[in-house]
Amino acid sequence: MTIRRAAFLALLLDVVLVVVFAAIGRATHDGGILGPGGSGLATTAWPFLAGLLLGWVVSLGWRRPAAPLRTGLPVWAVTLVAGMLLRALSGQGVAVAFVIVAGITLLLFLVGWRAIAALVARLRVSRSA
């Protein structure tokens, strides 16, 4: 797989996971994923998606898209902080409990898949040796 394709797939997976995070939150707290008028998921997800893209730029995520520490941690941190700032600026809630739950969930999602991928890669190398 080319590095360009790997980066695209990693970014796509990150986007899907951030949307899943927003959908879970909406389904849990707002009684429906789409909400009134059908724009609820987009309203909830956009600050974190913007933060995610910023995190990719800050971490140069396309260079090592599956690296848990070099890419995953900075992408997670920027996604969380920028997402919360954008939520606050747009008049959405940023209660402490939400920040904690979002931080843990996004950590599991954005760093977790990278850690699993790194573990699988190591196991494949050790089996072939």
Terminus-to-terminus CA distance in the chain, angstroms?
Answer: 21
Write down the pLDDT at residue 66: 95
Please compute the mean of the pLDDT values over residues 26-41 and round it to a whole number: 71
Q: Residue 30 — pLDDT band, cuts 50, 70, 90?
A: low
Residue 6 is inside which H or E element, if any?
A: helix 3-29
* pLDDT of residue 37 exceeding 60: no
Q: Residue 5 — pLDDT band, cuts 50, 70, 90?
A: very high
Q: Residue 55 — pLDDT band, cuts 50, 70, 90?
A: very high
Amino acid letter for position 95: A
Write down the pLDDT at residue 36: 60
pTM: 0.91
